[in-house]
Amino acid sequence: MKKLKVAIIGSGNIGTDLLIKVMRSPHLECGAFIGRNLSSPGMAKATAMGMNVSSESISYIESNPDCCELVFDATSAVDHQRHAPILRKLGKISIDLTPAQVGQMCVPAVNMRECLSEDNVNMVTCGGQASIPVAYALAQSHSGIDYIEVVSSIASRSAGPATRRNLDEYIHTTENGLRKFSGCRRTKAILNLNPAQPCVNMQTTVMAKVSNPKLDEFTKIFQKIAQTIREYVPGYETVVPPTIENNRIFTMVRVRGLGDYLPAYAGNLDIINCAAIAMAEEYAKNRRPALTEAGAPK
Amino acid sequence: MNKILISDPTLRDGNHAANHQISVQQIAAYCDGADAAGVPIVEVGHGNGIGASSLQLGESPIPDFDILRTAREHLPHSKLGIHVIPGFATIEKDLKPAIRAGVDVVRVASHCTEADITERHIGFAREAGKTVFGVLMMSHMASKELLAEEAKKMESYGAEGFIFMDSSGHFLPDDVTERVKTLLDVLEIPVGFHAHNNLGMAIANSIAAAKAGATMLDGTARGFGAGSGNAQLEVLVAVLERLGFKTGIDLYKLLDLSDLADRELLKEIPTIRSVSVVSGLAGVFSGFTKHVYRIAKQYEVDPRDVFFELGKRGVVAGQEDLIIEVASDLARKAKASS
Amino acid sequence: MNERADKLVREDCRRVLDGREKQLAALKGDTLFITGGTGFMGTWLAEMLACLNDDFSFKTKVFLMARNTDKFQGVCPHLAGRKDMTLVKSDIRRLSELPKQTHWVIHAAVTPDNRFHSSRPVETMSTVSEGIAAVIRAADPCSDFKKLLNISSGLVYGTQPWETERIPESHVGGPVMGNVASVYAEAKRYAEIYCAAARSQQKLPVVTARPFAFVGPYQSLNTPWAINNFIHDALNAKIIRVLGDGKTVRSYLYGADMSFWLLRILVDGVSGQAYNVGSPDGISLEQLAGLIAEQFDPQPEIRIQASVPAVTQRTRFVPDVTLAAEGLKLSVKTPLKAAIKQTIEWNKLSRSTAVAV
């Protein structure tokens, strides 16, 4: 099968890590690696890898629409707000790794098929990617959930200046995602930064209050969905399996990253990239002729 | 001369000891007494501050807004303070309503090495015209130089004062003295200290801070607070006065307030229990104590082992979920070796 | 060819370790990347690490990066050919990635040779400033990264006041502002503060060493430093020429001691802290010339005020090393006399000044 051509906008750490994942994918190929500064380390790496690089940002895709069918946007929320309508007009699928929330929220283990009909999907947050499948499993095994809470701890070094400035947006978006996928109306997200050396891996705990806990059923569904996640995030591991403690259902997972370009402890960044790649591969596998035709004329 | 600004977080840090169950009636009664005694700042809320009611830390039966409104109504003179930790509390969900409820003093806190997550919260409270203090928690986990660097960030964000917390009760007086001196060298804003009593040093450490030049101190009635409690407010004020520091608090009325707290607030007066000594030595957040007791019991492990293991892993306040991981690990290992 | 010279160096490493290898145990099994890996510092670090690997099974993997690694292969085949050492050829300014498994980095690139600083001040500044930025950028994505040791310079303090016998890390001073002669010192100050910024913003663990003066094998006797000039003169049976009145004071730490100190600072130095590295025992150039002359038979003549016209400006450059001594239990294992003896011996064995790197 012919590989799906993708472009990556944003040549920072996230974009560069995505590039390495794209290179490894049997379903994707990189048509363009796009940023603003040709001398950035990401660009240097892409150039060294023989990639087609550009510093013209979105206008490169506008003037070279053949370079890709799908675009990973790893810039910023403000930039993606601007990019989204342009990409839609060009008939490109957008996978949005910024907090812009233009399109449907996408958590591959939960709603990958559903997202295939969308032309813009948003990868929620790191805590969301780790916890929403657990919340979804809780919802599948219980008729109603009173309250869901998600606590993530990440290595201080994995939180860059943008993350630190936008903790509130992280919390609101994660809570939104939890509500959407679990149907539970009361949700809470908490984020801790841990400065311990050596750096800690990302850990996420999902706690829930339900009137009538069905631990066995939940455990079964959780294990299945965790297996699905491991297909695209190999380092997704259960630390404390579903347990009842102090009248709450408690489940804890750890995410060790692949360490492609980002450090391996930054499972929080890796899980979003892995999810984005999984979604892009799904688009590649399910390409219909219509999808290609809607793109630039060949 | 030598004036010390006292903050009283009995109704906030004390909530750790009360499993965050302090009621509206208790808040009203305590605030009446504190106001009458002339306590300058009364801090209320969940033990980890506004927006922190959670399964992770313990749920509060009363919404933050009701807590704040009650306190406000009963504090005609004293200032009403809150503790805010970004990562738990957001500006939109928590800080804005708190300010609407009439808060005067906003203390924005982070782990001692992570001051840059407080920029927006400090900026917002400052913009709203409130008195804003920066707070670094678990300050024993940073060298004095690093603590000063992080404090300086808070000053640049607009904090009008800086308080460092000995959240694990790990410091000895010399540790406090050298930190206050370094902070005063670097900062242009006043410096304050918040003690815990795990190693029996809360009053001694607070006095060391004042002698080194700190001008803000925290104390709670009967030492009511997380773990083995805080600096006991009535003792602190008495000792300060004897040393010639002024607090502006009426000592008799403060003693009455403390007796009231004893009657109305507490089931047990905080004492230094064996596990608190271990928690202080291990440098683990005092607020973990009740959770560690409960979880160690469920997993049939020694709570002291849990504390030392948590200390080894460098956990920060807010990572209470790791207690279960550590306890279940210890239980598994014990089983494997038996 | 130089087996005896190599053996001398190895014996020095063993003598300096003196049962203290446990203090470096944190390096066991880890990967260490050294920029400027083929200079005096880099070579001594490689020697010490080779000794730790051979004698104490440290199994530490070492990467030595330099702009020109070919020369090193010729000079130090016993190091270059080792399985646990990998040579990396790159300009520090272009360094974009480190091996992903890197745990430790010692950034020792940039020559301290003041002849280079004089003729190529622009390159001096750009190698220091762009070099530190490149190293930090490259270290950031390493998954198990533990610490960066930034090699700064004792020159960041500016001129040591004559009345100050030893200069401590807390000394407030600096190079002469706006003077081109300050390029190296100012650039090093910039690099130190750049590290502080990375530590504050990216939480990268980084410690700084401020080296003073050294002596030993692998130091080129062509360099314009008094001790090397004196040894060079003596080895060539010439008169030892002392500039000035001989009262200028320096101190010298032996290469093997230096490498142990640097590794200790890397492993246990407190992030954010700077440590002086050097000998705290000052010696006047006049006495130094005497110490060197003693090693030869017949003793070479020593000529004070060898330059014309006579200058009497005296300087002092001696570190206070209390912080390293108390915080990291470091001490000088090789007294200056022994250091000189070993240096002369090694140079004789190597029989060629071109050997030095």
Q: What six digits make up the tokens of B233?
A: 């407010």
Q: What is the pLDDT of residue C306?
A: 63
Contacts of A195 in chain B (CB under 8 A): 111, 113-114, 141, 314, 316
Q: What six digits make up the tokens of C334?
A: 């090789």
Q: CA–CA separation, B115 vs B163, rounded Å?
A: 12
* B-chain residue closest to C270, CA distance: B143
Q: Give yes or no for residue B130 having a pLDDT over 70.
A: yes
Q: CA–CA separation, A183 vs A152, rounded Å?
A: 21
* Domain architecture of chain C: domains with CATH: 3-215+252-279+318-334 (3.40.50.720)
**Tens of pLDDT, residues A83-112:** 999 999 999 999 999 989 999 999 999 999
E strand or H helix at C305: none
Q: What is the pLDDT of residue A295?
A: 45
Which amino acid is located at B271 in the chain? T
**Tens of pLDDT, residues B71-90:** 999 999 999 999 999 999 99
Which amino acid is located at C301 in the chain? E
Q: Give yes or no for residue A297 having a pLDDT over 60.
A: no
Q: Give yes or no for residue C354 having a pLDDT over 50.
A: no
Neighbours, chain A (3 or more CB pairs < 8 A):
B, C
Cβ contact, residue pair B145, C203, below 8 Å? no
Average pLDDT of the segment spanning A271-292: 86
Q: CA–CA separation, B114 vs B318, rounded Å?
A: 13
**Residue B106 and residue B80 in contact, taking contact as beta carbons nearer than 8 Å:** no
* Domain architecture of chain B: domains with CATH: 5-264 (3.20.20.70), 274-337 (1.10.8.60)
Among B116, B143, B153, select the one facing C272 at the smallest CB separation. Answer: B143
From the list B203, B187, B184, B186, the residue with the least C-alpha distance to B195 is: B203
**Residue C39 and residue C7 in contact, taking contact as beta carbons nearer than 8 Å:** no
Contacts of B117 in chain A (CB under 8 A): 164, 167, 193
Contacts of A264 in chain C (CB under 8 A): 143-144
> How far is the alpha carbon of C203 from chain A, nearest alpha carbon, in Å?
6
Q: Give yes or no for residue A144 having a pLDDT over 90.
A: no
Q: What is the pLDDT of residue C311?
A: 58
Q: What six digits make up the tokens of C278?
A: 């050097």
Instruction: Report residue C309's pLDDT band, with 50, 70 and 90 as the boundaries.
Output: low
Q: Does B298 touch chain A (CB under 8 A)?
A: yes
Q: Give yes or no for residue B1 having a pLDDT over 70.
A: no
Among C97, C137, C141, select the one facing A262 at the smallest CB separation. Answer: C141
Among A161, A171, A246, select the one facing B90 at the smallest CB separation. Answer: A171
- Residue A22 neighbours by CB distance under 10 Å: 27
Q: What is the pLDDT of residue A41?
A: 86
Cβ contact, residue pair C272, B145, below 8 Å? yes
Burial zone of C307 (CB within 10 Å; 0-12 exposed, 13-18 middle, 19+ buried): exposed
Q: Does B23 touch chain A (CB under 8 A)?
A: no
Q: Give yes or no for residue B44 having a pLDDT over 70.
A: yes
The dihedrals phi and psi of B58, each to the nearest 5 degrees, come to 120, 135
> How far is the alpha carbon of C164 from chain A, nearest alpha carbon, in Å?
38
What number of residues does chain A have?
298
Residue scoring higher pLDDT (B195 or C308): B195
| Backbone CA torsion sign across B219, B220, B221, B224 | negative
From the list C199, C194, C226, C262, the residue with the least C-alpha distance to C336 is: C226
Q: CA–CA separation, A91 vs A77, rounded Å?
A: 20
The four Cα atoms A8, A13, A18, A20 give a dihedral, to 10 degrees, of: 110
**Tens of pLDDT, residues C80-111:** 999 999 999 999 998 988 999 999 999 999 88
Residue scoring higher pLDDT (C208 or C303): C208
Which amino acid is located at B277 in the chain? V
Residue scoring higher pLDDT (C2 or C261): C261
Among B55, B93, B298, select the one facing A248 at the smallest CB separation. Answer: B55
Helix (H, G, I), strand (E, B), or coil: what is residue B15?
helix
Nearest 5°: the CA angle A177, A179, A184 is 155
Q: Does A49 touch chain C (CB under 8 A)?
A: no
Cβ contact, residue pair B143, C201, below 8 Å? no
**Residue A251 and residue A229 in contact, taking contact as beta carbons nearer than 8 Å:** no
Beta-strand relationship, A202-209 and A236-245 = unpaired
Mean pLDDT of chain C: 93
Candidates B16, B74, B121, B291; catalytic one: B16
Contacts of B328 in chain A (CB under 8 A): 240, 243
**Residue A30 and residue A51 in contact, taking contact as beta carbons nearer than 8 Å:** yes
Residue percentage of chain B with pLDDT more than 70: 100
The HSE-up count of residue C37 (CA atoms within 13 Å, CB side) is 31
Which amino acid is located at A288 in the chain? R
Q: Does A268 touch chain C (CB under 8 A)?
A: no
Contacts of A161 in chain B (CB under 8 A): 116
**Tens of pLDDT, residues C190-209:** 999 999 999 999 999 999 99
Q: Give yes or no for residue C312 having a pLDDT over 70.
A: no
Beta-strand relationship, A202-209 and A248-255 = antiparallel
Beta strands in chain C (DSSP E): 31-35, 61-66, 85-89, 104-107, 147-151, 206-211, 214-215, 240-241, 249-250, 253-254, 274-277, 283-284, 302-303, 316-317
Among B55, B113, B119, select the one facing A156 at the smallest CB separation. Answer: B113
Q: What is the pLDDT of residue C355?
A: 45
Q: Does A264 touch chain C (CB under 8 A)?
A: yes
What is the per-residue DSSP string for A189-202? EEEEEE--SSPPPE
Question: What are the helix and strand counts (H, E) for chain B?
Answer: 14, 8
Q: CA–CA separation, B118 vs B163, rounded Å?
A: 14
What is the per-residue DSSP string for C13-28? HHHHHTT-GGGGGGGT
Cβ contact, residue pair B319, A192, below 8 Å? yes
B-C interface: how many C-beta pairs under 8 angstroms?
9
Nearest 5°: the CA angle C83, C84, C90 is 95
Q: What pTM was estimated for this model as a whole?
A: 0.91
In chain A, how long is the greatest CA-to-CA distance?
61
Question: What are the helix and strand counts (H, E) for chain A?
Answer: 11, 12
**Tens of pLDDT, residues C268-284:** 999 999 999 999 999 99
Letter string b/e over residues B117-128, b meaning 16 or more CB atoms within 10 A of that residue's CB: bbbbbbebbbeb
Cβ contact, residue pair A263, C146, below 8 Å? no
Residue percentage of chain C with pLDDT more than 90: 83
> Does residue B252 come out as left (phi exceeding 0), alpha (psi in the -120 to 50 range) or beta?
alpha
**Tens of pLDDT, residues B184-222:** 999 999 999 999 999 999 999 999 999 999 999 999 999
List, by residue number, the catalytic residues of A.
126
Q: Rounded to the nearest 10 degrees, what angle do helices A13-24 and A41-48 cross at? A: 20
Q: What is the pLDDT of residue C348?
A: 92
| End-to-end CA separation in angstroms for chain A | 18
> How far is the alpha carbon of A271 from chain B, nearest alpha carbon, in Å?
20
Mean pLDDT of chain A: 93
Average pLDDT of the segment spanning A212-221: 96
Q: Give yes or no for residue B38 having a pLDDT over 70.
A: yes
> How far is the alpha carbon of A295 from chain B, nearest alpha carbon, in Å?
41
E strand or H helix at B136: strand B131-137
**Mean pLDDT lowest for which of A130-144, A278-292, B182-196?**
A278-292
Residue scoring higher pLDDT (B201 or C356): B201
Average pLDDT of the segment spanning B107-134: 97
Residue C248, strand partner residues: none
Q: Rounded to the nearest 10 degrees, what angle do helices C183-202 and C121-139 cross at? A: 20
> SS3 letters for C61-114?
EEEEEECCCHHHHHHCHHHHCCCCEEEEECCHHHCCCCCCCCCEEEECCCCCCH
Q: CA–CA separation, C228 vs C248, rounded Å?
A: 15
Instruction: Report residue A296's pLDDT band, with 50, 70 and 90 as the boundaries.
Output: very low
From the list B49, B67, B65, the residue with the least C-alpha distance to B57 is: B49
> SS3 letters for B103-135?
CCEEEEEEECCCHHHHHHHHHHHHHCCCEEEEE
Question: Looking at residue A12, what DSSP letter applies?
Answer: S
Q: What is the pLDDT of residue A288?
A: 63
Instruction: Report residue C310's pLDDT band, with 50, 70 and 90 as the boundaries.
Output: low
Question: Looking at residue A164, what DSSP letter applies?
Answer: H
* Domain architecture of chain A: domains with CATH: 4-123+275-294 (3.40.50.720), 126-267 (3.30.360.10)
**Residue A233 and residue A274 in contact, taking contact as beta carbons nearer than 8 Å:** yes
Q: Does A41 touch chain C (CB under 8 A)?
A: yes
Among A149, A165, A239, select the one facing B56 at the smallest CB separation. Answer: A149
The HSE-up count of residue C233 (CA atoms within 13 Å, CB side) is 21
Q: CA–CA separation, A260 vs A21, rounded Å?
A: 7
| A171 contacts: CB under 8 Å, gap ≥ 6 | A189, A190, A191, B87, B90, B93
Contacts of A158 in chain B (CB under 8 A): none
